[in-house]
């Protein structure tokens, strides 16, 4: 019996190592390719670059830095509004009593059944009527951010409310007895409790916004407001008819670096958020 368990553990570890290799090798390939020129790319496809072409990153950073700034503004601005509005709404659905609460919540969940592509035209028309498609000032930024904020409400509220429901009601009742109103209960009790869930939503939201191509392409045509996804496409076309793989992959790495740093910083909270629903309070 012990022998079978030992063999099973070995097989499990071999499978985990294999899947880890499949996960990490694309990153390794992207990194080494970003330091190659075209000759090395075609003649030394699997080997390390020799010499290392650091100028690929100089070209990539120079070309996509403005788009990187646009994505940072849009992503961080959208995230802050999403976390504030969804946490407040989830707290209201979980802890407050008001007419038709469950019906409104079910209607909100029904929005998850509507594909995002079907919402593009209505959202575009609404932004046009609001005058947020004019490529001047901060209007395009606000237009893009409103689309992301609206699209993330239902899912984020559902996740946060589920976590609020798992918290003991006695904790909030004790705060009310001590004279704590709903505002302070939300700020002093609710928000500290949902830090892992907020970290999980932060990573998921930023990943979706950062890599999104379709919505920014629909909303804006002015290159000054392009996000990193649109900027990478423009950077590739600016390289000319000959595809320069080194600078292209360097651009991919520069675009992915903020997400890597974010995930490493929030990894512990992200794992706690994913496992929070598995533990009964």
Residue 278: C-alpha distances to residues 10, 172, 189, 267, 271 (Å): 28, 22, 21, 18, 12
Domain ranges of the chain: 58-278
The whole-number pLDDT of residue 279 equals 44
Task: Tell me what pLDDT residue 238 has.
Answer: 64
How many other C-beta atoms are found inside a 10 Å radius of the C-beta of residue 41? 18
Q: Which pLDDT score is estimated for 275?
A: 62
201 in helix, strand or coil?
A: helix
Q: What is the 3-state secondary structure (H, E, C) of 52-69?
A: CCCHHHHHHHHHHHHHHH
d(CA 253, CA 31): 7
Answer whether 0.75 is exceeded by the pTM: yes
Q: For every one of its 281 residues, what pLDDT tens digit does the chain have, with 9 covering 90 and above?
A: 556 677 778 888 889 999 999 988 999 999 999 999 988 988 888 888 888 999 999 988 888 888 999 999 999 999 999 999 999 999 999 888 888 888 999 988 888 888 888 888 899 999 989 888 888 888 889 999 999 999 899 999 998 998 888 877 777 778 778 777 888 888 888 888 888 888 889 988 999 999 999 999 988 888 889 999 998 888 877 665 677 889 889 999 999 998 888 888 887 777 766 665 444 44
CA Rg, the chain, in Å?
A: 24
Structure tokens given for 195:
């830090």
Asked if 246 and 55 count as a contact pair (C-beta separation under 8 A), the reply is no
- pLDDT value of residue 278: 45
Q: How many other C-beta atoms can be found within 10 angstroms of the C-beta atom of residue 44?
A: 13
Tell me the C-alpha distance between 279 and 281, whole Å: 6
- DSSP secondary structure string for all residues of the chain: -HHHHHHHHHHHHHHHHHHHHHHHHHHHHHHHHTT--HHHHHHSSSSPPSS--THHHHHHHHHHHHHHHHHHHHHHHHHHHHHHHHHHHHHHHHH---TTHHHHHHHHHHGGGS-GGGGHHHHHHHHHHTT--SSSTTHHHHHHHHHHHHHHHHHHHHHHHHHHHTS-HHHHHHHHHTT--HHHIIIIIIHHHTHHHHHHHHHHHHHHHHH--HHHHHH---GGG--HHHHHHHHHHHT-SS--HHHHHHHHHHHHHHHHHHHHHHHHHHHHHHHGGGS--
Angstrom distance (rounded) from CA 276 to CA 264: 19
The yes/no answer on whether domain 58-278 falls in CATH 1.10.3720.10 is yes
């Amino acid at each position: 019996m012990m022998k079978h368990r030992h063999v099973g553990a070995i097989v499990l570890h071999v499978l985990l190592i294999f899947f880890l290799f499949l996960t990490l090798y694309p990153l390794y390939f992207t990194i080494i390719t970003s330091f190659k020129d075209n000759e090395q790319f075609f003649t030394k496809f699997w080997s390390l670059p020799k010499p290392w072409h650091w100028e690929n990153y100089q070209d990539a950073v120079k070309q996509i830095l403005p788009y990187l700034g646009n994505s940072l503004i849009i992503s961080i601005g959208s995230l802050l509004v999403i976390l504030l509005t969804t946490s407040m709404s989830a707290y209201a659905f979980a802890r407050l009593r008001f007419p038709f609460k469950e019906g409104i919540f079910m209607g909100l969940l029904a929005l998850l059944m509507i594909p995002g592509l079907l919402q593009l035209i209505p959202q575009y028309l609404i932004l046009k009527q609001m005058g947020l498609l004019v490529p001047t000032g901060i209007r395009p930024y606000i237009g893009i951010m409103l689309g992301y904020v609206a699209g993330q409400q239902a899912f984020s509220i559902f996740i946060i409310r589920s976590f609020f429901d798992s918290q003991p009601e006695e904790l909030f009742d004790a705060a009310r007895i001590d004279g704590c109103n709903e505002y302070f209960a939300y700020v002093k009790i609710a928000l500290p409790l949902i830090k892992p869930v907020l970290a999980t939503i932060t990573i998921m939201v930023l990943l979706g916004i950062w890599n999104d191509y379709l919505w920014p392409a629909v909303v804006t045509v002015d290159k000054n407001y392009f996000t990193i996804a649109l900027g990478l496409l423009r950077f590739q076309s600016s390289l000319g008819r000959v595809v320069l793989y080194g600078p292209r992959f360097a651009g991919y790495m520069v675009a992915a670096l903020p997400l890597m740093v974010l995930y490493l910083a929030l990894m512990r909270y992200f794992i706690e958020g994913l496992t929070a629903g598995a533990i009964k309070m």
